[in-house]
Amino acid sequence: MSQAVSYLSWLESAHHEFEARVRKVLRAEVAESVDWRRPRTVCFATGFSHHDRMAVQRLPEPIDLVRYRIFDGGLLALLLVDSVTGFASAASSRQGRERMTAVDGVSATPATSSPASVPTVPGCLRDLYAELDEALTAWGEVEVAPLRHYIAYRRLVNVASVIFRPKREAILVYLRLDPDTVELEEGSTRDMRGIGHLGTGDLEVRIVSAAALEKAAPLIRRAFEAA
C-alpha cells in the first residue's frame, strides 16, 4: 500500500509526463480526456490482513483493496475487500467506507469490526462479543456485515454467522464446517443440518464465556482456513 500511495503521489506531480505517455501510447484525444480531479489507488492481491484493512482506514488517500483468485479453467474472481474515499479525520473515513455489498445474495452494508459500531450487541454480551470478534477477524482478510438478524463474517462466502441470545447470556456462532468432522458436545456444539435457523453454517457453536471461546478457537480457525 505504501508503494501504491507513492505512485499516486508521483502521478499527481507528473501530469505532463503522464499525459505525454498516454498521447504516445494511445492518442491525443485520450490524453486530453484524463480527469485529474479525483485520482485513486486500487491494490490487487491474493489477500489482505486485518492490519492492512485497519491501515487503509487511516490513510488520507482514496484507495481500494481488491482480492483476486484464479480458479481452474482460468476463471478470475474479484472481491472488493475495502474502499475509502480519502478523509480528513477518522470519523469521516468511517462514513466514506460505507458501501453496499452482497452476503450470500443478501444486500448488506458492511461495518467495522468494532463492537461499539454494531448496535445489535446486547450490553450483557458486549465484552464477550469483543473477544469473539477479535477471534473471527484474526485470520487475515475478513469482511464483517451486520444484517437484520445476525452478523456475517465472510470471505468470498459467509464463513461464520453470529447471533445473540441475551436471555441465556450466550452467543451462537454458525460455522461453515461439516459437523461430521467435529466431535459434538452437548451444550457446546450442534449439528444444524436439516434444522431451520438464522444465519448460514451447519455447525452451531455456543459461546457463553471466555473459556468456551478458547475451546471454540480451533473450529473457528478450521472454518476460515477452509474458506
Same domain, 82 and 184: no
Q: What is the pLDDT at residue 163?
A: 93
Phi, psi of 188, deg, nearest 5: -125, -50
Same domain, 114 and 35: no
Same domain, 52 and 109: no
Q: How many domains does the chain have?
A: 3
Taking residues 150-179, report their average pLDDT.
Answer: 90
For 20, the domain range is 1-39
More confident residue, 70 or 141: 70
Q: What is the mean pLDDT of the chain?
A: 80
pTM of the model: 0.52
Same domain, 216 and 171: yes
Same domain, 78 and 114: no
Q: Are 163 and 192 in contact (CB under 8 A)?
A: no
Same domain, 131 and 159: yes
| Cα–Cα separations (whole angstroms), residue 19 to 62, 63, 73, 218, 219 | 21, 22, 38, 53, 53
- Residue 111 banded pLDDT, cuts 50, 70, 90: very low
Q: Which of 192, 185, 125 is nearest to 160 (CA)?
A: 192
pLDDT surpassing 50 at residue 213: yes
Q: What is the pLDDT at residue 106?
A: 37
More confident residue, 72 or 85: 72
Same domain, 65 and 82: yes
Q: What is the CA radius of gyration of the chain?
A: 21
Q: Which of 220, 82, 198 is nearest to 147 (CA)?
A: 198
Same domain, 153 and 197: yes
Taking residues 69-88, report their average pLDDT.
Answer: 79
